[in-house]
Structure 1
Amino acid sequence: MTEQQPSGGGAVTHREPEQLQAIKLRHPWRNVFAAVIILVAVLFIYDTAFNRSVYNWGEVGKYLFDVRIMQGVGYTLQLTIYSMVIAVALGITMAVMRQSPNPVVSSVAWVYLWLFRGTPVYVQLVFWGLVPTIYKSLELGIPWTEAVVSLNTKDLLSYFTLAVIGLALNEAAYMAEIVRAGLLSVDEGQAEASKALGLGWWHTMSRVILPQAMRVIIPPTGNELISMLKTTSLVTAVPFTLDVYGRQRDIAAVTYQPVPMLIVASVWYLVVTSILMVGQYFLEKHFAKGVTKRPDVMKPSIETSSISVVGEHGGQTTPTYPSAGGGRSIVPPHERPGGGGA
């Protein structure tokens, strides 16, 4: 950009700057890498679809909507929902117990978390499947006296119930830590302000603490729900075999084609997981309101020139302020809206 000085001594004028031509940065190796990945994916899909008879896609289509598979999907959803509801309720209880000032209560909660997080869920389910063998009957009455009521454990607790209990107790240990982390993420001043306003413990938790903690609790809880859906495949350790994994295994034992049946089970796991992921997205979006939104830039409501000021300078009203020397100085340019001289 060059300057031109007129011969008459007028104002300096400037030429319009030439428009810059932005050159896009090239990434040749990135394109090559992407092309290689696409080629490998196409070759894998073609090989899977046409060259591997073991997949037997006709068998997959035959049993994808089979009545037994659909019933298995229903049982899998029931196991997931029942277990998560119990786990969330018990996890909240354990999280509150962990924060209790009572050392006995907090110690009980710590031992529970240590036990159920420190042992594999498959081992726990095996133990729950052995409960009818270990405790053949449940007797109710006064200790060291004859039992008033005696119940057969095998008749009282079905394998489905034992599977729900085993999954829920294991998951509750993880939910307790998730809830505790969410509660700790809320500033203590929120609880103090609620007490100052006269709110009780219930209203403080339900209307102040939990709504703010939910944005921290929801994402890992959604992940745990999806994980629970897949963990239901381990209930064969109880043993409970009416879930989708157990049903496909029973069918494969008859048809002697395990790979197509595993694909059938995987397809249904993917379908349900995708639905849960969509629900998790909208739930996270709901509880994140007011957190990710940025406020608009503040703008002056009136122009600077319309503000009345004090002081006189050249017949015009100008703002003044006390100077360090004891006199008064004029605030510079004021003649244009927003400040600045002509």
Structure 2
Amino acid sequence: MNVTPLPPSREAGGTAREPSPSDIRRWRRYLADERAEAAVYRDLAARRSGEEREILLALAEAEGRHQQHWIALLGDDAEPRSGGDTRTRVLGFLARRFGSVFVLALAQRSESRSPYEKDADATAAMAADERIHEEVVRGLAARGRSRLSGSFRAAVFGANDGLVSNLALVAGVSASGLAPGAVLLTGVAGLLAGALSMGAGEYVSVRSQRELLESSTPNPRTGNVVPDLDVDANELALVYRARGMTPEEAAARAGDMLADHALRDSSNDGDDHEAVGSAMRAATTSFCFFASGAIIPIIPFLFGISGIAALVIAAVLVGGALLATGAVVGILSGGPPLGRALRQLAIGYGAAAATYLLGLAFGTVVG
């Protein structure tokens, strides 16, 4: 077990220095964060089994070692306890309620922001632990991202396309001078047409990708003929040469397979299929999320609001939704949520502004 040594300030026989009130506050904050992070990992472990559970419990144990460092440093000042920073408390709440990949993605970002490398009161081993923890959590989060990647991609793309395309459509036709009823009808038509198109396109895309992967997957029945192969004219070596190995590498691999009387494929096809996801699920997700996004720009028109007021309300509603979808993408990708949210907002508003100006120009020409 990695034992964390005490810094000279409180180490027995060292040159003791009396900690300042700011030192104590900082150490208490670190201690509270370590306790909260350990609780997050234990809560997540309670919802997992097998290897993932063991990994999460090991992370919690490592955070416990860090706690002991700060407790020893603080001495009697280790109490009273505080609840850790707001971000870590939110992580704990989410872990207890959901235990999802969102929590792991947030935990990854939390580990990446460890201040130990720049704090003289933390040891080099603790700073290294935090870096390793970031990579461990990244690996766990990647498993979850792989499991939901197909549906998540369809959900994000569907919702974002619905928000942007229908806001742009409504803004353009409204700027051209059409009556409010015509604008509403156009928005509803855009919702239905876009949702059906997105669903059909997603189905064809995912289905085609799965078929391509399946065509590249070795036939499992091939293994049954391995014992009957002619050792002197080994056809199995051709299989590995077709996969890109040199003749020498292919012969060596074929020899191993003959010795074992089994054909083991070294590729990751199962994982590829899982990452691609179900075509029908992706299509349904894309349809529903496009429709849920596309209905937002026409909400003001459904309530009888028209003109600039309706467009402003629609833009505000869509802006909030774009910020939310961008933040979700940022969290799951391990990137900054605010940056991703603002990027989504800028793209959406840019498209709407362009079509609004085109609508104004078209209305002027026609008028």
Q: TM > 0.5 between the two? A: no
Instruction: Tell me which interval the TM-score lies in, with the shorter structure as reference length.
Output: under 0.3
**Structure with bigger RCO (C-alpha 8 Å, 6+ apart):** 2
**Which has the larger share of strand?**
1
**Which has the larger share of helix?**
2
Larger C-alpha radius of gyration, 1 or 2?
1
Give the TM-score normalised by the residue count of structure 2.
0.22
Give the TM-score normalised by the residue count of structure 1.
0.24
